[in-house]
Amino acid sequence: MESYIINGGNKLEGRVNISGSKNATLPIMAASILNEGTTTLYNVPDIYDVKIMINILENVGCKIYRNRDKVVIDSRNVSDTVIPDVLMRQMRSSVMLVGAVIGRKRQCNFSYPGGCEIGARPIDLHMRAFRKLNVNVRENSGYIYCDTDCIKNTELNLDFPSVGATENVMLLSVLGEGNTTIKNAAREPEIIDLQNILNKMGAKVQGAGSNIIYIEGVKKLKDVTYTIMPDRIEAGTYLCMGVATKGHIILDNVNVEHISSILSKLEETKARIIIRKNSIELIGNSKIMGIDTIKTMPYPGFPTDMQSQFVSMLTISKGTSIVTENIFENRFKYVSELIRMGAKINVEGRTAIIKGVKNLEGALIEAHDLRGGAALVIAGLIANGQTKLIGIKHIQRGYEDIDKKLLLLGAKIKKGE
Ligand code: EPZ
């Protein structure tokens, strides 16, 4: 099984370029199905989840051309409306293809996207919204059959501001009849990116970034060229690495506005942060101060996708920190691996209590999910001695060239068997 071998103790120093956002790229690639033409995307990250999405799009009939960060999707011949089980299982966020396929072909069959390491990941909010938009949804032994003769746009209220459900309803409604209003919509920046490209394609969407989104159905969309926004979670992850290694790093190609909740929490560690137009400079403090409380919330609150990286960074902080995970029910799986390295963490339900220790010791550890895996890379960077981290496929799903970027910052990391 592929691994990262990390020799800890080096301060990270230098510049790192932040790649395009995974969580903006995936719904935007799904949106390409709505146009019987060509979608040209730039700043697409070279990560495993994008490779899976390319496979799924080719499966439904798209032709895809990729050259470095440029991806061209020709969706003139979308013929199939079945999302294969094996691909659905590989990436559960492929559920957001469903809205686009129904929007284009008025039907879609797919297998229930199972849960993953961080939770059950149900899709009840998606299905309830689809039914409100006049889509027949039938479930039978793990398969879901959706079809409609006419998407009737309407007003709907999400029980929870689900990112995926918000995006799926947007994708379903843009070619529907009439107007859709999504109340209690998710406000994540990736949803604004989706609105931007849809409007460039000729859709009529407004309100993304607020909790009410309006979609006026149109007949057709057109070819588009679009550049994906920077990945705010990748940026936050490198900032945590800078603090944890007491280093001095500069992040290029960052949208500072997207990470204000992360920056304010990092400042509580007494790290110094200098903000420039498109870059952020972080100077770590020799003493990392603990953070009294972190509570993950929907955007613009502190992001759940940064929870594990902060916990890892705080293992060697001064004092006690309390981190509460309010979004997913099982997002502390990585903690047992940190404890193997000498961390003092007590998990009670949805709360982790971290008592800072002087340092961690390198060990053999395993990643079980994407962000938990990033947390374990951070632990390897700060631990004494050598850490062997297995299960790195999880990390490669969402971090482009993480080993190469860390090497450039002075880390001792390499791929192992
Ligand atoms: C998106 O997942 C992101 N993924 C996740 O990032 C992120 O953690 C999450 O939003 C929250 O910000 C992508 O954008 C590809 P949700 P999504 O629907 O859409 C419950 C990463 O590491 N829920 O906002 O699946 C759900 O179980 C990934 O990059 C229902 O109950 O998240 C969870 O508890 C991980 N029923 C909560 O809502 C539903 O129908 C938030 O889920 C849908 C969701």
> What's residue 61's pLDDT?
95
> What's residue 324's pLDDT?
98
> What's residue 189's pLDDT?
98
| Per-residue pLDDT band at 352 (split at 50, 70, 90) | very high
Q: Residue whose CA is closest, atom 7 of ligand 1?
A: 305
pLDDT over threshold 90, residue 267: yes
Q: Residue whose CA is closest, atom 21 of ligand 1?
A: 305
> What's residue 114's pLDDT?
66
Task: Tell me the pairing of strands 364-366 and 38-42.
Answer: unpaired
Retrieve residue 157's tokens.
Answer: 């209220």
Section 324-333 average pLDDT: 96
Domain annotation for the chain: domains and CATH numbers: 3-18+230-416 (3.65.10.10), 22-227 (3.65.10.10)
Retrieve residue 320's tokens.
Answer: 């006690």
- Write out pLDDT tens, residues 57-72: 999 999 999 999 999 9
- Write out pLDDT tens, residues 283-313: 999 999 999 999 999 999 999 999 999 999 9
Determine the Cα–Cα distance for residues 383 and 5; give it in Å rounded to an integer: 12
Query: Residues near ligand 1 with C-beta < 6 Å?
Result: 22-23, 26, 93, 119, 121-126, 160, 162-165, 186, 304-305, 327-328, 370-371, 398
Assess contact for 393 and 386: CB atoms under 8 A.
no
pLDDT over threshold 80, residue 150: yes
Mean pLDDT, the chain, whole residue set: 96
Please give the distance, rounded to the nearest whole angstrom, from the Cα atom of residue 407 to the centre of ligand 1: 31
- Write out pLDDT tens, residues 99-144: 999 999 999 999 988 667 788 778 999 999 999 999 999 998 889 9
CA angle at 272 for the pair 270 and 273, rounded to the nearest 5°: 130
> What's residue 383's pLDDT?
98
Site to probe by mutation for ligand 1, drawn from 121, 127, 190 as the one with most ligand atoms within 8 Å of Cβ, is 121
> What's residue 115's pLDDT?
63
Q: What percent of the chain has pLDDT over 70?
A: 100
> What's residue 417's pLDDT?
80
Please give the distance, rounded to the nearest whole angstrom, from the Cα atom of residue 319 to the centre of ligand 1: 32
Which of the pair, 90 or 384, is modelled with greater confidence?
A: 384
pLDDT over threshold 90, residue 187: yes
Q: Which atom number of ligand 1 is nearest to the Cα of residue 299? A: 12
> What's residue 105's pLDDT?
94
pLDDT over threshold 90, residue 94: no
Q: Residue whose CA is closest, atom 25 of ligand 1?
A: 164
Q: Which atom number of ligand 1 is nearest to the Cα of residue 329? A: 34
Q: What percent of the chain has pLDDT over 90?
A: 91
Report the catalytic residues: 116
> What's residue 144's pLDDT?
93
Q: Residue whose CA is closest, atom 28 of ligand 1?
A: 305
